[in-house]
Structure 1
Amino acid sequence: MTDLEGPRAPVVPGHTSRAVRRTVTLGAALMVVIGMLLLYLLTQATNNRELYERNYARLFAINVVVAVLLAAGIAWVGYRLMVRVRQGRFGSRLLVKLATIFALVGVMPGLLIYVVSYQFVSRSIETWFDVKVEGALEAGLSLGRVTLDTLSNDLATKSRAAAAQLSESSDGTAGLVIERLLDQLGASDITVWGGSGNLIASVGQSKFQLSPDKPTTSQFRTARQERSLAWIEGLEDAVPGALSNARIKTLVPISSPTLGLNAETRYMLVSRALPPNLVANALAVDSANREYQERALARTGLKRMYIGTLTLSLFLAVFGAVLLAVVLGNQIARPLLLLTEGVSQVAAGDLTPKLAMQGKDELGGLTRAFASMTQQLADARQAVESSMSQVDAARANLQTILDNLTSGVVVLGADGSIRSSNPGATRILQQPLAAYQGHSLAEVPGLEPFGSAVQQQFGEFLARQVEHGLDHWQQSFELSANQSPMRSPFDRAVTLVARGAELPGDLRLLVFDDISEIVSAQRAQAWGEVARRLAHEIKNPLTPIQLSAERLEMKLNGKLEASEQAILTKSVKTIVDQVDAMKRLVNEFRDYARLPAAELKSLDLNGLVKDVLQLYDVDAAKVPIATDLDARCPPVLGDAEQLRQVIHNLLQNAQDASEAAVAASPGVPRNVLVKTQWQEASGRVRLIVQDQGSGFPESILKRAFEPYVTTKARGTGLGLAVVKKIADEHGSRIDIGNRTVDGVIVGAQVSLSLAIDHSAPV
């Protein structure tokens, strides 16, 4: 069978079961022998009471010994079962239940048979001694006696008549007379005796005897007094079924013909054999009557013997049934207990190899099938665990990939709730999304518009998915910069490009990237191209315009009236000044477009800051410049000229913003702070420039690094654009934002992080 295939399960050792089987077999054989012996004695008790009485004591002793042994075995087994139950050992209650069931099955029929047998024996023995039976036996005995008395009297009467024929015969002729009388009387033997006890004559069997039976003196005297004497001889020694020597004997006196005083009285002894049938019947009736009287006297003991034998038989049967119930119940329960224990272990997750029975029956096969099934489950679990390990490894790899992705990945539920997110999403959105797991993306502070827009995009995508066969959607989002700590988590405007798709299990996948730098770079590149073209297209006509104006002034100088000469001079000066301004603007665009590649070298950032500050009149400036330089800063990799330009641009912007604030609020001290910080965690040096102006408007924060974006009335707005371009050349991150105190803007801050020179000595 297929369900029995597979690895072999451990098998329960067979020596214990073999020993149990041998013990059970021996006990069963002993029970059968004792039972057969009891049955034999019970069947023979009626016909051979002496055999039963002779072996009753031995049988009773054997039964008592066996019953005690069985009772001890049952007590020991019961004690073991109670110990198992109290210890709470597995399967003990099932074993007790099976043993009880088998014991009841064995005991109840035995009790029923015992009750019936008890009633039967009691009533049967009582019926043996019925009054009618006793009367019948007495009548039979009386009938036998009357018959024997009749035969005796008849023989005595005939013998007296025959004796009259011998009275006239002499002793010599007496033999002839009794020969004739032998046939007449139907006797078997006739002897004639003298008064002195001498034998005179004999015929029949006594003729051949050397010493025929001689009557006693008292018999002679009784016969002479009563004229005859009859008795039965040999009946007491007769054996039923054998040849009987019972006979009737009659002794009669023979009258003498002479009347002398000295005449001797003779006697005739006649013997006649009794009929064998009569003797047999008489003996049978007498034997039955004697046995009946004996049993009538001992019927209480007989009843006790029978009932005692039945009781011992019951005890043997009950004890044997209980013992066999326990043993057989254990044999049946062992496979069930193995299965139950195995099922409990499997339910608890234990799939170690299970024990199996060696038997060839269905329960043994079931244990082997269960063990094989458990082994297959263990193999399947191992395969599943191996597969799960591979899945976990793949999941870990996927998680590692997601954790290291620069893109943000968020898994959303159908209701927009956050199910999972990667660190990239937290970094881009600047919110701990893991803390909001289970909440809607629109519930995250500062991301309400973004979450609502994403949910709306998913709704439209799912509505059009079947119709247009779409597998994802893509949309860009503008996330505004921070103006209040409660509104937005962003320090600057962020541009996101988001893509969404449907996942199995009614989930949503949202992937987004921060393309602010890309957009800014694209805009910078576009402005560079514009600057290059402006420098080419605008600079060329500026010189002819300036020369033409100066020539016109030179040709007309001194030829006009004073008022007109003043107008001419003023107009020419205006044209020349505006042309110079245009040239400066074009040169700045040209410089932005032609910014050379950075040559990164090891330099001291603190020293570079100090060199730049020497060019500023710190004491006479309207807005003083303060420094907070970290002495722990290691050398950085940078282009000194380009970084010098960065510092100049940032200081100039900070002073302009602070001066505007001073003009708006006279009397309030303002300053500019230049700081350097060594950040050991990131391994970079940070350059920070802070002002105490009015800060950046939200519209400027979104596009602060784009060319021609400025808040100043004069200027091209290329300062921060150049700074951003130089930072990109250095592989540095530049951050811009407003500084707030209690929700009030107190200035702006621009910071630049630079990589250190790892080759420089520490």
Structure 2
Amino acid sequence: MTPSPQGPVTGKPRTSNPRALRWMWVVGSVVVMALGLILLLLLTQSTNNRELYERNYARLFAVNVVVAAILLAVILWMAVRLLVRLRRGKFGSRLLVKLATIFALVGLAPGLLIYVVSYQFVSRSIETWFDVKVEGALDAGVNLGRTTLDILANSLADKTRSASNQLADIPDAAAGLTLEHIRDQLDANDVVLWSSTGQLIASVGQSRFLLNPERPSPQQLRNVRSQRAVAAVEGLDDTASPAEATAHIKALALVSSKGLGLLAEPRFLQVVQALPPALVANAMAVQIANREYQERALARSGLKRMYIGTLTLSLFLAVFGAVLLAVLLGNQLARPLLLLADGVRQVAAGDLTPKAVLLGRDELGGLTRSFANMTQQLADARSAVDQSMAQVSAARANLQTILDNLTAGVIVLDAQGLIQSSNPGATRILREPLAAFEGRSLGDIVGLQDFAQRVQAQFDIFLSEQTHHGLDHWQQSFELNATASPFSQNAIILVARGAELPGSNRLLVFDDISEIVSAQRAQAWGEVARRLAHEIKNPLTPIQLSAERLEMKLLNKVGEPEQALLKKSVKTIVDQVDAMKRLVNEFRDYARLPAAELKPLDLNLLVQDVLHLYDSDTTAVNVVSELDAECPMILGDAQQLRQVIHNLLQNAQDATEAAHAAGSIPEVTLRTQWIASAQRVRLVVRDQGTGFPENILKRAFEPYVTTKSRGTGLGLAVVKKIADEHGARIDLSNRLNNGVVEGAQVSLSFAIHQSVVG
């Protein structure tokens, strides 16, 4: 239960200071016991002074309870700590418990004896302070006074009822003289006649001088009707001093009416008679004396609690001092052994922090210092091992970070083809949550069965030929999700590489080369376009000239039916040659697109310049612009970006017009936007057409991929090529609303001019 000495954690063993700890315990104990003794002194003084006791009883009792609770809590805490140490089997705990028990019994046994004797003495002696005869005499005096007052009140009520008969035949106007006669007859101070509604009819005595005399309450009037007469003593509780007390009896009687009329209303006679001052003073004195006696009788329970609390506090002080002495002495005896036992336990648990040592010069102190030195040596050895492990963990974390940020996919398989681990790149490329399939076969993933079989076959071939050819890896290309359509959105072209890892595990590394293949396809189409433009354009002009020459030579040499046929045939040849020329020119423009000359450019001004050609009067589909005034300058080629805007607007107008040919045609939106967080300027064109089919979205920017019945499919390919020249990112998507396609959207984001960034 004693705290082990602590010190700063350094490279050297900690040194405990038992003297400082001992003084700390002694000072704390002295402070607590001094507070208890001061409280005992205050309680003794307050009980000898009744006024001081009554004034400070609540405070003294509260402080007494608080101090007693603190001492009890400390004793219980010390006992619980001892029991906990004993149950945990700590070395020296039995010795401490034995010493604490002995000293506690030494202090507790005499204390309990004194406590029981004092408790009986206090309980019995306080009861003798209050005499039963005095209490009975006071009660008899109070009852006598009440009885006397009740007799006087009843007598006045009877006299008032008798006197009310004198007013039976007296009208209200002549009641004053009769009231004066009744006042003299009853020796009253005040006589008042009230109506049934509580209105003053006539009065004699002191009430004549009052503007608003006190009226009887409705309850009093109802009581008079039922009892004929009532009386009450008033004024005994109004004053606290018996010498100044004044009281009177107020009687109220019903005046019977001898008239037989239905409209006759009852009247009430009120008589007020003052009580003798000596009688009032004696009644008040007896009442006050009885109240004070009862208050003091009630206070004797509090006095008992105060004395008992004082005794209890004394007992707690004695027990606390005994237990504290046991702890201090036991601590001095068992401290070195406990210190060593605690150090051994910590080392066994793997805690090699610097251990506390004793400053004593005896053998046990030297033993603690030797143990601390040994622990320090073990800690140094562990620190070296931990440093090596930290370096290994750092290298492993770096490798994991590299794998997580690789664009290539990495999968580790076991000999049976079960997935051991994978990186996010593999999940992104294969579009499957590979982390959820760890411990399962790659072939269990829907859509990857064929890929898993082909990979397993490659590993089997590689392992069988490895010993003969000395190969360390194999490499193969795969096409996933391939369908009959060449424009499948989910088609993925992979180049994979496999190798064997230690422990018969297998490493599979692959990368998505779909975009590279798409770029190669675009480059190939550009070469095809260049050759077509060269090979086809040259014969077209002679064909057109020959057809026109045949028309000139033969038109006048044949009949009219043949002339019409000749004109129609020649016109067909010329029109088709023109169409082929336009197609060849588009091929040539795509193949010979010049390199972009990037210069500072205001995109908003360029858009406004282009929109002049798309007035509502000249186009079937109106174009609405939403330009962000905060857009900074970008780096771009004005001529090429003008072509991009034209291509996007024409495609958007064609798609919108085709989708709404039967009704009113909605608008096409062209928007610019400054994205400050990405430091990019965005150009967005939205239509309200039918959107792109799923199989077109992935390859919409490749040449000759189109959804139009007319056209070459080079518009978006040219846009993609110009965007690549500008280093811009281009995105194509369908606009959805609750799963319904509402049109398509093409967006390009451009880098801003360097001067704006600076």
Task: Give the number of the structure whose alpha-carbon radius of gyration is greater.
Answer: 1
TM-score relative to the length of structure 1: 0.49
